Amino acid sequence: MKPIKVGLLGLGTVGTGVVRIVEGHQEDLTNQVGSPIVIAQILVKDRAKARNIQVDASKLTEDPWEVVRNPDIDVIIEVMGGIGQTKEYILEALERGKHIVTANKDLMALHGQEILAKARDKGCDVYYEASVAGGIPIIRTLIEGFSSDRITKIMGIVNGTTNYILTKMSQEGAAYADVLKEAQDLGYAEGDPTSDVEGLDAARKMTILSTLGFRSHVSLEDVSAKGISSVTQEDIQYAKRLGYEVKLLGIAERQDDFISVSVQPTMIKQSHPIASVNGVFNAVYVHGEAVGETMFYGAGAGELPTATSIVADLVAVVKNMKLGVNGRQAQLSYNVMKLKTDEQIASKFFLLLHVEDRAGVLAQIAQVFSDCDVSIESVMQPSAPNKMSTEIIIITHEASKASMNKVLGAFEGLAAVRKIKSVYRVEG
């Protein structure tokens, strides 16, 4: 049996997991695809670096073109990260008829359409299951499992690092900076963790999920994104008192031909299954018109969970090779959708305000809500009043984003409101 030869770009957290699974599950993989799978060459930045896996040193190279242009290699697994140069390597590999498996959501969110078009042109496969939600097979699920349905909502925790941080802040009162360091040490965070904590990593993943779910091209600029760096211990504790958890949620919604896609720290009811997804775990809730509610759960980052998705993609590529059907995937984004306006985007909101502590203030605040067409579900005054000011928490009924922006604008000019401390979308 002629072996299938793989070129591995990157031997960090995920690349190491790929080598472990390909070697550790070799017999099972060979039985599934009918050929042994061999990792023939590995690209690294520094060949001399100490590694926590033993690999044949002669396979390591620092020259990407040596791997990408190697005529013996059938499949390239890209787990080095990066956008500009990495895209060049992938396009060159496709040009040479090699199939691609990648975990790179940054690249797929920004250049996925171009890469997939080139792959179709060249009769090659590009699989990217590991790019969203690590070990959860959500991409395959959206493409295949929901092919018969019309998806109306995708809501998920799609970043392991921030869920790890928020969980530790909520359950152990831990400080944000300390937990971020832990997530980096565990290999969950990106090289530059700003993209995790500022919501960009989740926004890129939501770009991919909403493109597949709504079968319409969604670009990164269509996704409004806010991260967790402004979430305070105080917000988390107030949320818990009111029966909510704070989670960084990606939310994509469709109504007729209109969609909205966003990422933001959200207060979600403790009774919703997403509220109990903790640590590095991810979960994606999908609502389909016909199927109703579904949810998918698993490790969202880390060496072996992510590598599981990559090697499953490799198996799919090799099976296609045996059948001679590589590059025959159908066009997945054919709908034309418009973005919802702020008038069309609706949710409940949580507000924590610092207000003057004097008679009549609550009435003034209630008037602003009423003038802006936002109705209040509940008001709570959590702190003991002092002479100068006090805190109030307001939860609204469902209101449009445009109306809520009007309320916030009006508060800026209202002396009774000393500070808008926090505003959260509320779900569940």
Ligand X SMILES: N[C@@H](CC=O)C(=O)O
Ligand Y SMILES: NC(=O)C1=CN([C@@H]2O[C@H](COP(=O)(O)OP(=O)(O)OC[C@H]3O[C@@H](n4cnc5c(N)ncnc54)[C@H](OP(=O)(O)O)[C@@H]3O)[C@@H](O)[C@H]2O)C=CC1
Binding residue numbers for NADPH: 105
112 binds ligand Y (CB under 6 A): no
Token pair recorded at residue 170: 């909520």
Q: Pick from 74, 201, 253, 357: which binds ligand X (CB under 6 A)?
A: 201
- Which residues are designated catalytic? 205
79 binds ligand Y (CB under 6 A): yes
Q: Per-residue DSSP letters for 275-343? A: GG--TTEEEEEEEETTTEEEEEEEE-SSHHHHHHHHHHHHHHHHHHHHHT-TT-PPP---B--EEPPTT
Which partner in ligand Y, ligand X, none is near 104 (CB below 5 to 8 A by kind)?
ligand Y
C-alpha dist (Å) from residue 361 to 122, 135, 212, 333: 67, 51, 48, 51
17 binds ligand X (CB under 6 A): no
Residue nearest ligand Y (C-beta atom)? 12
Q: Pick from 6, 13, 122, 202: which binds ligand Y (CB under 6 A)?
A: 13
Displacement of CA 43 from its chain's centroid (Å): 26
Nearest approach, Cβ of residue 193 and ligand X (Å): 8
11 binds ligand Y (CB under 6 A): yes
Amino acid code (one letter) for 220: L
- Number of neighbours of residue 378 by Cβ within 10 angstroms: 11
Token pair recorded at residue 267: 């207060």
Q: Pick from 104, 262, 326, 396: which binds ligand Y (CB under 6 A)?
A: 104
Cα dihedral across residues 330, 96, 61, 109: positive or negative: negative
Specify the DSSP element, H or E, that contains 399.
strand 399-400
Binding site as annotated, residues: 9-16, 105, 190
Site string for ligand Y, 14-53 (x = CB under 6 A): xx---------------------------xxxx--x----
Q: Pick from 74, 125, 196, 222: which binds ligand X (CB under 6 A)?
A: 196
Residue with tokens 């498996």: 101
Among positions 187-226, residues that touch ligand Y (CB under 6 A) are 187-188, 190-191
Beta strand segments in 167-257, E: 223-225, 244-255
Kindly determine how many residues on this chain lie close enough to bind ligand Y according to the rule CB under 6 A: 26
> Exposed, middle or buried: residue 254 (CB in 10 Å: 0-12, 13-18, 19+)?
buried
301 binds ligand X (CB under 6 A): yes
C-beta of 188 vs 297, nearer to ligand X:
188
Nearest Cα to Cα of residue 216 among 280, 272, 151, 168: 151
C-beta of 88 vs 234, nearer to ligand Y:
88
Nearest approach, Cβ of residue 421 and ligand X (Å): 28
Applying CB under 6 A, which residues contact ligand Y?
10-15, 43-46, 49, 79-82, 103-104, 130, 134, 187-188, 190-191, 301-302, 306
Applying CB under 6 A, which residues contact ligand X?
134, 159-161, 188-190, 196, 201, 300-301
